[in-house]
Every structure is written in structure tokens, then in C-alpha cells.
Amino acid sequence: MTAARHPRRRRLLGTLSPVAASLAVFVVAWQLVVFVSGFPPYILPGPLSVAEAFVRAWTDGTMWPHVAATLVEVLLGFALGASVAIVAGIALARSPLAERLLSPYLVAAQATPVLALAPLIALWFGTGLPSKLVITTLIVFFPVAVATMVGIRSVDPRLLEMARSFRASSWQTVVRVEVPAAGPVILGAMRVGVTLAVIGAIVGEWAGANRGLGVLINEARGSLFDIPLMFAALLQLAIIGVALYLVMLFIERRIVGAR
Amino acid sequence: MHPVPEPEATMATPSAHGRGTGAGIRLSGIGLTFHGAHGAPATRVLEGIDLEIAPREVVALIGPNGCGKSTLLRVLAGLLAADAGTVSIDGQTVTEPDPRVGLVFQEPRLLAWRSAEANVRFPMELAGWSRERQTARADDLLGLVGLREYAHSRPGTLSGGTRQRVSIARALALEPSLILLDEPFSALDALTRERFNLELLRLWERTGTTIVLVTHSIPEAVFLADRVVVLSPRPARIVADIRVGLPRPRRLSDLDSAFVSSLAADVRAHLVDTTDDAIAMEEARMAIPAGLTPRDLPRRYAETDPGTPALFDPFAPEDES
């Protein structure tokens, strides 16, 4: 089972080794900055103390409930936002009237920072899961809906004529021709959307929540005043974001890569 | 590329792959005007076209570029509604795409995300056939066009000619009694094109359908057809209807005979404004559609757009990085 006998594995190794190298450089540079500047740990903790805080938070059970809460918000919010966005994108692509009626509101909703809307949403939907889902949905919606619309609009009209010659109904055309043809564009937007969903969940947690990584960051900075723990929570957040991005990318590769 | 596939046991009778009887077609007084968008002038494309086609006949429509041959074919397919006259297939008026008609386009128009087999099943899925029936029929059709071994290949991995064969198999899926072909082999090189024309005739012998095809090659029209219908420049009218008395089955060597040459000369005499120079100029113009820069071409003609490139993508094939 050596890497040399497995081309796939060797390729993955070839991709991962520069990533590992750049990570090592980053950690060393970080340690150097801490060493040279002499910042105290409550301003900039070194990588070792952050790693220690990270391990401690996982072993003493501090981290998991917050991670679980944030993951649920991100995944549900993303699923909800992306599904609504795909349906809306199809409607917008097929009906110029719908686009004319709805696009001003869509753009206005996108142009208003979610951060500014969050307190209002927390006021209306409370501090539980629903407010997080609303915020996450809002932030995921726009890029996915626009990509779906553009993707479907740019489907080769010759394919649509072909489908029509075989008497495809509009539903059949959407499901069997338009959405699969726009698939790469939609999946690309979903890949961006999943990282935005993480932002949505944290913003929602800041506007009011009692669990989640956003809450942990606030507590670490405030009542606990444990800056290494705050960094550990940030690290955890980055890991979640990168992992979700990679999962989406993997799904995209599996679906689109075969073409 | 393969030689013409041998008939297989299941195809001994024409009825195994078609209804055995082609459809009779009648076009009477067909006229069509395209109304330009945003105040552009309207264009009269078709004018008073009367044409009767007997069951199992092969008819080639030929005419100067842009005369409306393809438009006439789309009217016949029920994709475009004429604003004068009627189209009827076996006595029934056609107003929308008809299940008795199978259409082959100039480009294969395959769905890039489906295998060859799944592309052939596409019309059957739309028609709501059972899965077993779809599989059996697709297997038959791929055998008929000699592509069984490519059943699970994606269009992107097939050559242009092979893709066009898949699209012919797809057109035959619902056992049409009329096949319409819109310059089906014009993208292929001359040698491949001759072989495909021969294969098309073998398919026609086995399936027993009526065939109407649009072409701008006179030898091709004469070689394939029982009748060559010559159209005038826009608005298209029928200027000649030339019967090709060449015995069947036809062979490629027929193309070199004096008989075919004299028929071709006869057809050419009726073609207005199509000196060799005019044809060459027109083809050069068609190669790059107006308003397109050459840089846009690959994207415009790609079957699907590529996905957005990834910022960080460890799954990317090695040759991309």
C-alpha cells in the first residue's frame, strides 16, 4: 500500500504536501511575530498556547456543544437557502415578469448588510435556531439564485429545441435539460454559498444566542477573558469552513467531473 | 469508426425497428414570415410551397444558403407554425412536434452529462416508457448504428461522427415513420460523410421510414434521394422537383457515374445564384456567425459551460495544475 503504487494516492499526496508546507511556514511565522514583538498572550497568543487551548476545549467538553450548534445552523440554513434559491432562480430564469418584479427586492436585500439586519431578525424570530436559519438563508440565497438564473438562461437554445422536438413538457425541460446543463454554474455558487452560510450562522449567534462558536468567541473575549480559547474557537471555525468547502467541491467534482 | 454494421438477427424484418410503413406527407400552400424584433423589417421566408411525399420516399431539399430550407424542415417537424397553408402527415394536420417524426439536427445536440445510451433513452423517458422497455430499445438502436461498445461513453469522449450516430439513434427512438435531417453530416470530413450517407441508406432500408433531408451538397442530394426538390432564394419557392431514377441499393461508385453527373448538372442549373464562388463565400461567412469574434467561438459551441474554477482544489486533475 505504498503511495508509489497508487497513482490517486500519490496525486493527493502531491497536492497536500505544499498545503502542509505552507501551513508550517504560517505557524513558524506566527511564532516569530509573537517572539519578536513580545506581545502578551492576551493580545496575540502563540501557536502553542492556541493549540493547547484547542485541545483543552475539546477534552474538557467546552468546544463540542458550540460546534454542534453552529454546524446545525450552517447545514440547515445552507440546505434551506440553497433549495429556495434554486427554485427562485428557475422561476426568475423562466419568467421575465418575475425577474422584473422581484429583482429590485433581491438586490436591495443583498445590498443591505446582513449584520445590520441581524438584530431585527433576532427580535422577530427569537434567539433560537429559527433566527439563525433566516439569516443563513438570506446570505446564501442571493449568489445561488443569481447563478441558477444565469446558468439556466445560458443553456444552449439548440438543446431546448431538441427537447421540444421530442415533446418535452416544461417540467421535463427544467428537470432533465436546464438544471443539469446549468449544474456546474449552480454547484460553483453553492460552493461559495456554503462558506457564506458559516458567516450567517456566526452573525446570527452574535445577535443573540446561548450556544455556538460565535457565542464561545464572545465569552472567551468577555466574561472568561481567555484569548487563547478565542483563537481556538476561530481556528475551529476556519476548520469547519474549509471542510464544508471541500465537501462541496468534492460533490461538484463527482457530478461535473465526469463530463 | 466502423464499417456498416451487419444486420442482426432481431433486425431481420423492417418492422422490428420501424412501423415498416413510412408516413405520407402533404404540404399545401405553406407560407411563413419572420417578424423582426424591435421594428426590424419582416422577412418572407417561405412562399406557397406545395409538396407531396409518398410513404418511404427519400426527398432532398436543396437551395441556396439562407433560403429557408431548414425553416421548411422545422415547419414540417411542427417546431414552427406556418402562417399560411397546412402540413399533414398521413392525413393528420401537424401543429406541434409530432411523435411520428424523428429529427436529426446539424449538430448532434447531445446532453453532455448523459452517456450515449442515456441520450438515446431521452425521448423514451419523456414519453414515459418503462425502464425495461427503454433499456431494450436503446440497446437495439445502439446496435443498429454500430455503437454498442460506446453505450456508456459520454459525448465529450466521442468523435464528431460517432456523436452524430448517437443522435440518429435518438431520432429513431420512438419508432418514427418520418425522419427529418437538417444537414446532418455537414460537419464531417468528405470521406466520413460519404460513408455516413451510405449508412443512412442502409438504415432507411431497414427501418422503412420516409426521409426528408436538407443538404447543400448536390452530389449528396442525388446520391441519397428519390427526388431532389430545388428551392429558390428567399422567400423559398419550389423551382424544380427532379426525380432520381438511380436503382437501389446505391453504391458509392454510383457517385462517379455519368448518369449522376448529368443529374447533378440538371439540379445545378436550377439553383439560382450559387456559382461556386458564391457558395465558397457563403460557407466562409457561415463558419463564423456575424457578430461573433473568433475568441468567443469555442465557448459558444461548447455543449455546456465549464464550472467556475476553484480557488483551492485538491481534486483537480493533475494536468490542469
Residues B184 and B255 in one domain: yes
- Give me the domain span that covers residue B195: 25-33+43-100+177-278
Are residue A176 and residue A241 in the same domain, yes or no? yes
Domain limits at A23? 1-38
User: Do B130 and B73 belong to one domain?
Assistant: no
If asked whether residues B213 and B273 sit together in one domain, one would say yes
Tell me the pLDDT tens digit for each residue of B202-256: 889 888 899 999 988 888 898 899 999 998 888 888 888 989 888 888 888 888 8
Task: Test B313 with A188 for CB contact under 8 angstroms.
Answer: no
| A64 and A21, same domain (yes or no) | no
Q: Chain B contacts of A148, Cβ < 8 Å?
A: none
Mean pLDDT of the region B288-312: 45
- Are B148 and B142 within 8 A, CB to CB? yes
A16: chain B residues, CB-CB within 8 Å:
314
Tally of structural domains, chain A: 2
In a domain, B150, yes or no: yes
What band does B5 get if pLDDT is binned at 50, 70 and 90? very low
Contact predicate B174/B19, CB 8 Å: no
Inter-residue long-range contacts of B314-318, CB under 8 Å, 24+ positions, other chains counted: B314/A12, B314/A15, B314/A16, B314/A19, B314/A246, B315/A249, B315/A250, B315/A253, B315/A257, B317/A257, B318/A11, B318/A14
- A105 and A214 inside one domain: yes
| pLDDT tens by residue, B117-143 | 999 999 999 999 999 999 999 999 999
ipTM, two decimals: 0.77
- Determine, yes or no, domain membership for B319: no
pLDDT level of residue A43 (50, 70, 90 thresholds): confident
**Mean pLDDT on B79-88:** 90
Residues B96 and B131 in one domain: no
Q: How confident is the model at residue A41 (pLDDT cuts 50, 70, 90)?
A: confident
Determine the distance in angstroms separating the CA of B79 from the nearest CA of chain A, rounded to an integer: 7
Phi, psi of B64, deg, nearest 5: -60, 155
Domain-located, residue B233: yes
- Which of B155, B175, B195 is the endpoint of a domain? B175
* Percentage of the residues of chain A whose pLDDT score is greater than 90: 61
pLDDT tens per residue across span A100-131? 888 888 888 788 888 888 999 989 998 889 99
At B61, which CATH number? 3.40.50.300
Do A126 and A21 belong together in one domain?
no
Q: Are both B117 and B263 inside the same structural domain?
A: no
More confident residue, B287 or B9: B287
State whether A128 and A79 are in the same domain.
yes
A156 and A49 share a domain?
yes
Lowest mean pLDDT among A38-47, A60-69, B134-143, B150-159: A38-47
- B167 lies in the same domain as B185: no
Chain A residues touching B312 at Cβ < 8 A: 245
B116 and B54 assigned to the same domain: no
How many domains, chain B? 2
Contact A257 B315 (CB under 8 A): yes
With respect to residue B252, please indicate whether it lies within any of the assigned structural domains.
Answer: yes
CA distance A3 to A5: 5
Average pLDDT, chain B: 80
Say yes or no: A189 and A89 in one domain: yes
Does B222 map to a domain? Answer: yes
Least confident range from A11-25, A68-82, A160-174, B162-176: namely A11-25
- The pLDDT tens digits for A152-208 are 999 999 999 999 999 999 999 999 999 999 999 999 999 999 999 999 999 999 888
Looking at residue A159, what is its pLDDT? Answer: 94
Q: Is B113 on the interface with A (CB under 8 A)?
A: yes
Residue-level pLDDT at B206: 87
**Residue B17 counted as domain residue:** no
A94 with A18, same domain? no
pLDDT digits (tens, 9 = 90+) for B142-190: 998 889 999 999 999 998 889 999 999 999 999 999 999 999 888 888 8
* CB contact residues (below 8 A), chain A span 30-89, against chain B: none
B308 or B149, which is more confident? B149
Q: Is B32 exposed, middle or buried (0-12, 13-18, 19+ CB in 10 A)?
A: buried
Residues B163 and B273 in one domain: no
Same domain, B92 and B213: yes
Residue B20 to residue B8: CA distance in whole angstroms: 17
Q: For residue A75, give the CATH number of its domain.
A: 1.10.3720.10
B126 in contact with A, Cβ within 8 Å: yes
